[in-house]
Amino acid sequence: GLEDVGDFLRFLPRRYIDPATTTDLSQLHEDEYTVVVATVQTATTRPMRQRRGTMLTVVVTDKDNNEMTLTFFKPYGHVDRLRPGRTGLFAGKIQRFRSSWQLAHPNYELFDEEDAADAIETYAGGLVPVYLEVPKLDSWNITKAARLVFHQLDDVPDPVPEELRSQHRLTGLLHAYKLLHLPRTRADVKRGLDRLRYDEAFTIQTVLAQRRIATEHLRTTPRLPRVGGLLEAFDARMPFELTAGQQEVSAEIARDLANEHPMHRLLQGEVGSGKTVVALRAMLSVIDSGGQAALLAPTEVLASQHFRSITTMLGDLAQGGMLGGSEIGTQVKLLTGSQPTGIRRKSLLDAASGDAGIVIGTHALIQEHVQFFDLGLVVIDEQHRFGVEQRDALRSKGKQPPHVLVMTATPIPRTVAMTVFGDMETSTLTELPKGRSPIATHVVSNPRWFQRTWERVAEEVRAGHQAYVVCPRIGDADPDPGSEPVATRQDSSDEDVEVTFDVDDSAPAPPRELRSVLEMEVELQDNPALAGLRIAILHGRMSADDKDEAMRAFAAGTVDILVATTVIEVGVDVANATVMVIMDADRFGISQLHQLRGRVGRGTSTGLCLLVTETESEAVQDRLNSVAATNDGFDLARLDLEQRREGDVLGARQSGGRSQLRLLRLLRDEDLILQAREDAFAIVTADPGLEHHPVLRDVIASALDEEQAAYLERG
């Protein structure tokens, strides 16, 4: 897929071997593509036992006399070349054979006989770069190509202005590539990476700065509070006091709404901190000023739950224009893809006529034919499932750009906020409403305690409460799209020269039957400890009606135990549920576990979360233990980021998440990101169209093209 020199330059080595030091054979991993520098000690040919023909066995050693065996089943042509004393590079998939390392018919490249040591030196100028394995293309051939390229190339356009480069002591772009493809020392590699990491951060921040400035130039209708309006009426009947944090954030939002620039704000907060009420109050104040609000949820379960809880909270305020409804009332409508046509058409009409003050829906809301009379505010719940493009699609629904409030499901580390949501203002809710008792979390990894887990669930139900049981799979034939396993980062060898790419090279987890909703339902029904308890299931492949029915029954208390996939992960709010059992908890990420258990910390009774696992991996147990040890979502979010690939954290759907973050690590490179952000905002403020920075402008245009293409591919 490398089509031009630019592609080639960006195709960076994944690792470097230093021939001057040890190729540490103890560091090898079975089945990994490996390149070693070694010298032939012996070469023996012998007939094969099982088959006709001969076999060549070559023993090579590295500088430290570590041994490795090379085997060739067709020795022809190799015997003459692989003579004792010859040194070269050997590459292939490495295997363990009878307690020694072995490469089966490796590719190799021998150094000049006269002066092998010198050859090593001239070969890669010091370090031997190892590239991603490409069949029939060995790393040294790529290195040869690199020599050719750097010999021919005078310069490449550099998007980072000279002042910034010298200010931050960054090397030029071409030189950075040269340092990475043909390094002499580890310091070269670091210098090259420093430059490219800065580029990544700088490019992203420039895009964000442009978006931010573009928003500032937009005009919209200011939405001012109204005396005697819906918001006042709602506040008067709210069953609780707003927390100090909720009040603060509400005030920030009210200030934004009163502005003639559209609001573009991110509301992030601890699980259960009460983001929905804050959003609802914002929606009501927009209705008070004559506008409409749309609330966008990532799943149907969540959309209909929002619909239920918002209509309940509003009471007769949600029955505007109806008999018995409040005079100042409005209407709340649900709009999802699987609604019967009649209901759906009515919702569409009410949105278009303006009768519906609040329209709640899934991505169906984004579709083109959905029209609003006067859309003043768009609230996007649990945003990390929506891409920037979808956000934009919704914003284009109004006559004027609406105000936008985005809510994240979980707390996010600062650099993530800055990178993914960097074009928005942020508000943060850290405190939970008073009277919440913290959730106690325990890891259950000893099979002796498994049955006790179910007894504990039964006790909780007998005390009048309800329980969730979460499984990683649905359990019918198809793979469950909603419960992908979580990849954990395993490569963090040498921080300084670590180069990690898009390619998933982490070893796949050994296959193990994961618990499924359907099996679990049967198993629990048969469990004597749970005899007589009412069990229902909920998963993504049920029909919308069945899902709705299951949630409704659980909310109404006619179901004791809800066995579900992660469809209940976000937003589900049933205060009477006090215990959650998460099966195969090792299959879930940290933030996901935190989010899941947030479902049982909702009432005033103590929540209990049991993380059931059969994992043997200590690292994974540590991960679960850290979830058990703290309820601080911000701490856990950092930890999550440390352990997972950026792409996973941001989600492939996130704008440029994958394509733009190749070298940058959002935690490690925090300072760099801050710096790049400052630089980018300064440049864009002075030169919004980047007229004086044509190279930067081009780089961004092509990055956005790529992003657009990726978006279209995803559909």
Q: Could you tell me the end-to-end alpha-carbon distance of the chain, in angstroms, rounded to an integer? A: 22
* Residue whose CB is less far from ligand ADP, 5 or 575: 575
| Beta carbons within 8 Å of 129's beta carbon, 6+ residues apart | 13, 15, 16, 139, 142, 143, 146, 180, 181, 182, 183
CB burial of residue 471 (10 Å; 0-12, 13-18, 19+)? buried
Q: Could you say which residues in the range 207-266 bind Mg ion, by CB under 5 A?
A: none
Q: Is 571 in the site for Mg ion (CB under 5 A)?
A: yes
Q: Is 298 in the site for Mg ion (CB under 5 A)?
A: no
Write out the H or E segment, with its range, that includes residue 230.
helix 230-237
Q: How far is the CB of 269 from ligand ADP (least distance, A)?
A: 5
CA dihedral sign, ordered 629, 635, 637, 642: negative
Q: The sheet that has 356-361: what strands, in order across it?
A: 331-335, 356-361, 292-296, 375-380, 403-407, 264-269, 425-429
* Residue whose CB is less far from ligand ADP, 264 or 308: 308
* Residue whose CB is less far from Mg ion, 402 or 571: 571
Q: How far is the CB of 649 from ligand ADP (least distance, A)?
A: 19
DSSP 3-state of 95: strand
Catalog residues that contact ligand ADP under the rule CB under 6 A: 240-243, 246, 269, 271-277, 433, 571, 573, 575, 602
User: Rounded to whole angstroms, what are the CA distances from 704 to 49, 382, 419?
Assistant: 60, 24, 15
Question: How crowded is the C-beta side of 554, counted as CA atoms within 13 Å?
Answer: 28
- Measured CA to CA, the distance from residue 520 to residue 507 in angstroms comes to 28
- Measured CA to CA, the distance from residue 370 to residue 360 in angstroms comes to 12
Binding-residue total with Mg ion (CB under 5 A):
1
Partner touching 330 among Mg ion, ligand ADP, none, CB below 5 to 8 Å by kind: none
Q: Is 633 in the site for Mg ion (CB under 5 A)?
A: no
* Residue whose CB is less far from ligand ADP, 43 or 608: 608
Query: CA gyration radius for the chain?
Result: 30
Among the candidate windows 396-404, 413-421, 528-536, 564-572, which touches Mg ion by CB under 5 A?
A: 564-572
* Residue whose CB is less far from ligand ADP, 143 or 578: 578
| Beta carbons within 8 Å of 261's beta carbon, 6+ residues apart | 215, 216, 218, 219, 220
Angle at 461 between CA 455 and CA 467, to 5 degrees: 90
Q: How far is the CB of 103 from ligand ADP (least distance, A)?
A: 54
Q: For residues 609 and 441, is the Cβ–Cβ distance under 8 A?
A: yes
Q: Is 272 in the site for Mg ion (CB under 5 A)?
A: no
- Measured CA to CA, the distance from residue 133 to residue 131 in angstroms comes to 6
Q: Which residue number is nearest to ligand ADP in terms of Cβ?
A: 274
Q: How far is the CB of 409 from ligand ADP (least distance, A)?
A: 8
Among the candidate windows 8-16, 391-399, 568-576, 701-709, which touches Mg ion by CB under 5 A?
A: 568-576
Q: How far is the CB of 204 from ligand ADP (least distance, A)?
A: 28
Q: How far is the CB of 302 from Mg ion (least distance, A)?
A: 8
Q: How far is the CB of 571 from Mg ion (least distance, A)?
A: 4
CB burial of residue 168 (10 Å; 0-12, 13-18, 19+)? middle
* Residue whose CB is less far from ligand ADP, 243 or 390: 243
Q: How far is the CB of 432 from ligand ADP (least distance, A)?
A: 8
* Residue whose CB is less far from ligand ADP, 207 or 360: 360
* Residue whose CB is less far from ligand ADP, 246 or 631: 246
Partner touching 433 among Mg ion, ligand ADP, none, CB below 5 to 8 Å by kind: ligand ADP
Partner touching 545 among Mg ion, ligand ADP, none, CB below 5 to 8 Å by kind: none
CA 363 to mean position of chain CA atoms: 20
Partner touching 240 among Mg ion, ligand ADP, none, CB below 5 to 8 Å by kind: ligand ADP
Question: How is 404-449 classified by DSSP, letter by letter?
Answer: EEEE-SS---HHHHHHHSTTSEEEEE-PPPTTPPPEEEEEE--GGG
Partner touching 306 among Mg ion, ligand ADP, none, CB below 5 to 8 Å by kind: none
* Residue whose CB is less far from Mg ion, 380 or 424: 380
Among the candidate windows 38-46, 72-80, 463-471, 571-579, which touches Mg ion by CB under 5 A?
A: 571-579
Q: For residues 407 and 380, is the Cβ–Cβ distance under 8 A?
A: yes
Q: How far is the CB of 275 from Mg ion (least distance, A)?
A: 5
Q: How far is the CB of 646 from Mg ion (least distance, A)?
A: 25
Partner touching 573 among ligand ADP, Mg ion, none, CB below 5 to 8 Å by kind: ligand ADP
CA 122 to mean position of chain CA atoms: 42
Q: How far is the CB of 519 from Mg ion (least distance, A)?
A: 30
Binding stretches for Mg ion (CB under 5 A): 571
